């Protein structure tokens, strides 16, 4: 078993090195300039904001992509540090509570049945507002966009959400243009995705914003994932 783990680690290290070379090349050769690269040796911090009864795939689809992007570091944040139980019964350890979390370059809020409780949790909503202020991107998966809307972060923006719970997002305050026919929606720094698996496509969209589309495609190939790279092509669209 340990030999298999070591082999996978070596393979992923080589894959990350190859992707790192491509990302470095993309910063100098891409015609459309991506976001500025962090200083040498410094990684952008991605903070996934957990809460009880979050959806597992909402979290770990994007995490698989971002954690394998060499200049991104993924951390988990929750109101209370420690184990946070998902809707599927699997617990994930939050590295930081809200008070101890470092500044985040990328914020991600997942969806899940726990969304309903957090819509009434002002402490959670205030943390989203605080984290958003310094973030380069604020993102969500599934009903996570309802939480962003409830926090007032999507006012005047276009956004999308889980199609089965679209009305929930629409009920969270006015001023948001909700897009029903979208896999994910980008509006400035705010990037929201449709339900569950769409978050993985959105995460690659963030990689494309940072490093160019070819880098995102390469990452998807390395992880043997078929990226639905058109944000407007959603097979689960409604209305």
R_g of the chain computed on alpha carbons: 17
Tokens encoding 74: 């993924």
Tokens encoding 139: 């993102």
First to last CA, the chain: 49
User: Catalytic: 25?
Assistant: no
Rounded to whole angstroms, the Cα distance separating 234 from 7 reads: 37
Tokens encoding 216: 């995102």
Rounded to whole angstroms, the Cα distance separating 226 from 129 reads: 33
Name the active-site residue from 46, 142, 206, 207. Answer: 142
Q: What is the four-CA torsion angle of 220, 222, 226, 228, rounded to 10 degrees?
A: 10
Task: List CB contacts of 22: < 8 A, sequence separation 6 or more.
Answer: 211, 214, 215, 218
Cβ(182)–Cβ(200) under 8 Å?
no
**Sole residue written with tokens 């972060």:** 153
Mapped onto helix, strand or coil, the DSSP state of residue 82 is: strand
Name residue 48's beta-bridge partners: 76, 108
**Sole residue written with tokens 């809707």:** 87
Cβ(193)–Cβ(201) under 8 Å?
yes
Q: What are the catalytic residues? A: 142
């Amino acid at each position: 078993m340990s030999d298999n783990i070591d082999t996978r680690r070596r393979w992923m290290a080589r894959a990350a090195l190859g992707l790192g070379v491509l990302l470095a090349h993309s910063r100098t050769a891409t015609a459309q300039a991506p976001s500025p690269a962090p200083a040498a040796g410094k990684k952008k911090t991605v903070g996934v904001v957990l809460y009880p009864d979050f959806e597992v795939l909402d979290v770990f689809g994007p995490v698989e992509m971002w954690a394998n992007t060499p200049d991104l570091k993924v951390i988990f944040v929750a109101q209370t540090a420690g184990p946070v139980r998902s809707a599927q019964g699997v617990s994930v350890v939050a590295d930081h509570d809200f008070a101890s979390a470092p500044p985040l370059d990328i914020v991600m809020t997942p969806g899940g049945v726990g969304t309903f409780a957090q819509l009434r949790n002002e402490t959670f909503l205030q943390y989203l507002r605080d984290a958003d202020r310094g973030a380069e991107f604020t993102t969500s998966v599934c009903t996570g966009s309802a939480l962003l809307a409830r926090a007032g972060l999507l006012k005047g923006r276009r956004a999308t959400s889980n199609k089965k719970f679209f009305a929930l997002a629409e009920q969270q305050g006015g001023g948001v243009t909700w897009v029903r026919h979208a896999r994910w929606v980008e509006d400035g720094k705010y990037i929201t995705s449709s339900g569950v698996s769409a978050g993985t496509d959105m995460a690659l969209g963030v990689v494309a914003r940072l490093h160019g589309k070819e880098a995102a495609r390469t990452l998807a190939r390395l992880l043997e994932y078929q990226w639905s790279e058109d944000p407007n092509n959603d097979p689960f669209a409604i209305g």
